[in-house]
A and B are shown apart, each in its own frame.
Chain A
Amino acid sequence: MSAVTLSRRRFLGAAGLVVAGSATAGCDRVRRFLQYSPSRAPSALVAGRANPADLFSICDNCVNKCGLRARVVDGRVVKLDPNPYFPKSRAMLCAKGNAGIKVVHDPDRLKHPLIRVGERGSGQWRKASWDEALDLVATRLKEVREAHGPQGVLFSSSEGFQERFFKTFAQAFGSPNVCRHPSLCLASSNLGFFITYGTVPEFDIENCRYIIMSGANRLESFITPDSIDLMSVLRTKKARLVYLDPRFTVTASKADEWLPIRPGTDLAFYLALINVLIVEGLYDRPFVESYTHGFEDLASHVRPFTPEWAAGETDIPADRIRSIAREFAYYAPRAVIYRGRRSSWYTNDTEMRQAMAIANALVGNWDRPGGVVPKESITLGGVELPEPPYPEASRCDGIEEAHPLSRSDDGAYLDLRDHVLADDPYPLRAWLIYKQNPMHALPDRRRTEAMFRKMDLVVVIDIMPTDSAWLADVILPESTYLERTDPVESFNTPYPFVAWRRQVVPPQFNTRTCLQIMQGLAGRLDLKQFFDYDIDRFIAAQLGPLGLHPEDFNATGMWTDQRTRPFGSTLTPEFRFRTPSGKIELASERLRRRGLDPLPRYVAPSRPADGRFRLIPGKQAWFTHAALQNNEWLHEICPENRLWINREEAERRRIAGGDWVVVRSSIGSVRIRAHVTDRIRPDCVHIPHGFGHRSPALRQVAGRGASDQDLIEPHEDRLSGNAALHETFVTVEKA
């Protein structure tokens, strides 16, 4: 090797003279050679090796919060790479994460505060200074507070590291009306598992050998580290995956078995699975005896739900259900029924998730490697400030009465909308929206728009001119995630660690962080005392009890004192689960106490009438909900969404791939192109979520594709109040 290098060097030296001397044919070649001289390449490639100048931070283009490293040149982010030390994301960034540069530099992004001058929704704005915009918001908030009390102001937000400041502000302001995304996303799943285990668990996919998933499209809708671990155990054949989905998703394509289940019948499948586990004695008897409660009730409850019965409901043959139950029990405890994340599916969704939780408990996979595991995290410190008093008024959405088991501080969004539209029990007249796009997140956009129009003041804090921002009175632009430092976050998967998002480049435009915006408003509303810190002090206070300093994150962008997931801390006879019985509840005492059926009750979903389809939504790997479609690198991958329709159904209607079709439901209709495919059942159609943007300020994507929310009827899950987005039937005609 060294001799080679040497001779090459000598050659180069000689060649250098030729370059200087004359412009012969040879010289070009020499130049090439110089340019790519191998002696410049170090001897070994290091996986994940970074430029030492690259900064660690955390992606915010979806809920996952993957670790990243940013290369900054002349004050501009030029490249984002994954942070290989980040336990949760292992060493990945998805397409969206890679497109983060274009989040900072999206030509359409919000660059300064805007105040509406024309009619609401007319798109006439004027640039304003922060002082002017904040003064205006504060004045109007005071007006609403005077007229309707602090509860007259609604605060809605989706998750994010700075969301806590928004919530603190809401509480300080005195409004109980805080509404977050869970009731559009995972509230029912949380509840179904919570009533069973007294906690909402994680799943140890990495060590698992048998996985059953219902419409948890992990290989397109990423959840880290589950998505990564899933593909890893599948490709090494360490685990088998049984995947139930009416649609042949990418996850289905990697599964060992795809079961195109009839939409809405997953509960029947799980009841039958439980039936087999019990009837055939496949469950973990010692575990059930020591750690669970209500087995007898369960056993008698599931007796009628035989695989033969379930086959008629689900379209899955009885013998398949039987053998899946046996395989599940065989591989237990390294076997799980994965709970999925978005569970805003059907009106009995909590019961379906409860059945999943029960089936898991029966095989004794709780808190063991490859099983269902409780969350653990590192406790952080905090600034010592007065906690704002809890607001006096009761919530407007009535969640305590309608869905008493649900987490009331997250709210029930669809109930809330109904109550707002009816001024029931009292009027809400101002709406502050943080990092959320209700015009796309909620079903039935007409009603959401009506909710906007009900308000005297709508303030949107976002980074893009979304459809919701378009209907606002004041738009306050937040600095994007690469432009701000966020509080320290305590992560719990795959094992507890802490990390924080640190500023990679200064704000490129006249934007502020949520904390700064909340401080600006608090100052104007005499609520300063709740925000008496800045982000650096806040972080120092969080790290203090751990004896950590910000510099301790310079080497890896994260900190932890553990290397593996902890197991078994709950597997002691003394441990009390946070359920009424103190055990894992196979029959829920929480439900029984409320006079409800403690066991999952099956109600067969209605089947589509002639010529109709059930509409099922879902996400694509390249976008997050209704965000990022305007990002030019992602737009290039998929410029519009298309309606998935079964090939035979399409042929019957003479619809060819790419044809325009009209899709109609009871609440509206959309025009969209068809994607004719064998990858979906004939009784349903699918519209990828997140298109049909109306805001003309999203210049790249405005008007492209269609929004499922113009079709989806506003149903909700009875127990949790989670939206039920899969309960709508549509017709499809060639346009």
Chain B
Amino acid sequence: MERNWGLLVVTYLMLGGLSAGAMVISGLATYFGRQERYTVLARLGAFVAPFPVLLGSALLVFDLGRPLHFWKLFFAFEPQSPMWVGTWLLTLFTLVSLAYLDLFLPERLRLWNPARIEVWKNLLAAAGLPIGLGVGIYTGVLLGAVPARPFWNTPMVAQLFLFSALSTASALLMILVPAFERGAEADEGRRLLVSADVIFILLELLIIVPYILHGELSTRSARESLLMILGGPFTGLFWIGVVLLGLLVPLATEVVELVPVLARGRSFRPHRTVEIAAGLLVLIGGFLLRYVFVQAGQISSFG
């Protein structure tokens, strides 16, 4: 059955998350990291950040009933509407991330070449970081702010989507780093990504548990809506697709990768296949997570 919100919205939420995550990772790397291993991440993150969201926004506009009227979003003042806030957030994000990207380009390609480029990088990273977090949260708030859909209507959804955004972005970078960056510094960067992803996945798992507990202890409609993933149409997809393949399996492989480093203090030796496999699983899992939420939420009803 064709639901109100379909795959385009799912994809949009996924892409928004990827951009947000990439920006946050890059921003953190720029802001805190002086060593080259951080610069690798900052650079790649900056290169990635603007594009998924641009594509996503295009999809969203295309998904509108009247795409040519999208500009109305900008000629309204509706601060209580998550979508209106999100629209401005995304716009701001796109501008900041593009400017930020510009600064990482080789000099001859730069459109804007400020005198004190490192300061500007830091400034934009400082701005991009909260905006990126905002976008990551927004993808969840868009759903979470809807009281009519008990499946969505908990603060956990925003957190879940944020951590998933960070995790999927780490995964994407994990896959991309070796294609663009070589050497020991790059390897270190890759270690950082794997470690970060382990943390993000753990955080996601830590949220799914209270999400379910919260729902179970909540109103009847919330409890009933959870049946969607606890013995309903989306159970298999959620537990096998999202939790097992999207979270537990990549988590396990990543931990195995890190064990020699952590336990025996060895230097990190990345395995390309592991990176790609775990990364892809995380990405697919992230997509499925959004798919399950968007679809199941629309079936769940209040009261």
Residues on A lying within 8 angstroms of B by beta carbon are: 23-25, 28
Minimum CB distance partner of B72 in chain A: A28
Bound complex: CA A23 to CA B76 (Å): 10
Q: Does B180 contact A (CB under 8 A)?
A: no
Bound complex: CA A395 to CA B299 (Å): 64
B residues 68-86 touching A (CB-CB < 8 Å): 72, 75-77
Name the residue in A23, A24, A25 with the highest tally of chain B Cβ atoms < 10 Å from its Cβ: A25
Contacts of A25 in B (CB 8 A): 75-77
Chain A-chain B contacts (Cβ-Cβ < 8 Å), number: 8
Bound complex: CA A24 to CA B75 (Å): 6
Bound complex: CA A25 to CA B72 (Å): 9
Shortest distance from the beta carbon of A21 to any chain B beta carbon, whole Å: 14
Bound complex: CA A568 to CA B76 (Å): 72
Number of interface residues of B (CB under 8 A): 4
Shortest distance from the beta carbon of A28 to any chain B beta carbon, whole Å: 7
* Apart from the given pairs A24-B75, A25-B77, 6 other A-B contacts in the complex at a CB distance below 8 Å: A23-B75, A25-B75, A25-B76, A28-B72, A28-B75, A28-B76
B residues 34-75 touching A (CB-CB < 8 Å): 72, 75
Minimum CB distance partner of B78 in chain A: A25
Bound complex: CA A23 to CA B69 (Å): 14
Bound complex: CA A23 to CA B72 (Å): 10
8 A-B residue pairs with CB within 8 Å: A23-B75, A24-B75, A25-B75, A25-B76, A25-B77, A28-B72, A28-B75, A28-B76
Contacts of A28 in B (CB 8 A): 72, 75-76
Bound complex: CA A24 to CA B76 (Å): 8
Shortest distance from the beta carbon of A187 to any chain B beta carbon, whole Å: 49
Minimum CB distance partner of B71 in chain A: A23
Bound complex: CA A24 to CA B77 (Å): 10
Minimum CB distance partner of A26 in chain B: B77
Shortest distance from the beta carbon of B36 to any chain A beta carbon, whole Å: 48
Shortest distance from the beta carbon of B161 to any chain A beta carbon, whole Å: 29
B residues 206-231 touching A (CB-CB < 8 Å): none
Shortest distance from the beta carbon of A19 to any chain B beta carbon, whole Å: 13
Shortest distance from the beta carbon of A640 to any chain B beta carbon, whole Å: 19
Bound complex: CA A28 to CA B73 (Å): 12
Ranked 8 nearest A-B pairs via Cβ: A25-B77, A25-B75, A25-B76, A23-B75, A28-B76, A28-B75, A24-B75, A28-B72
Bound complex: CA A25 to CA B76 (Å): 5
Bound complex: CA A23 to CA B75 (Å): 8
Minimum CB distance partner of B74 in chain A: A25
Bound complex: CA A28 to CA B76 (Å): 8
Contacts of B75 in A (CB 8 A): 23-25, 28
Bound complex: CA A25 to CA B75 (Å): 5
Contacts of B77 in A (CB 8 A): 25
Bound complex: CA A659 to CA B76 (Å): 52
Bound complex: CA A24 to CA B74 (Å): 10
Bound complex: CA A23 to CA B71 (Å): 12
Contacts of A23 in B (CB 8 A): 75
Contacts of B76 in A (CB 8 A): 25, 28
Shortest distance from the beta carbon of B66 to any chain A beta carbon, whole Å: 14
Shortest distance from the beta carbon of A22 to any chain B beta carbon, whole Å: 10
Bound complex: CA A138 to CA B72 (Å): 68
Bound complex: CA A25 to CA B74 (Å): 8
Bound complex: CA A24 to CA B72 (Å): 10
Shortest distance from the beta carbon of A38 to any chain B beta carbon, whole Å: 23
Contacts of A24 in B (CB 8 A): 75
Bound complex: CA A355 to CA B87 (Å): 76
B residues 19-41 touching A (CB-CB < 8 Å): none
Bound complex: CA A265 to CA B76 (Å): 71
Shortest distance from the beta carbon of B119 to any chain A beta carbon, whole Å: 36
Minimum CB distance partner of B75 in chain A: A25
Shortest distance from the beta carbon of B80 to any chain A beta carbon, whole Å: 14
Bound complex: CA A25 to CA B81 (Å): 15
Bound complex: CA A279 to CA B77 (Å): 82
Shortest distance from the beta carbon of A23 to any chain B beta carbon, whole Å: 7
Shortest distance from the beta carbon of B197 to any chain A beta carbon, whole Å: 42
Shortest distance from the beta carbon of A286 to any chain B beta carbon, whole Å: 59
Shortest distance from the beta carbon of A600 to any chain B beta carbon, whole Å: 53
Bound complex: CA A25 to CA B84 (Å): 13
Minimum CB distance partner of A24 in chain B: B75
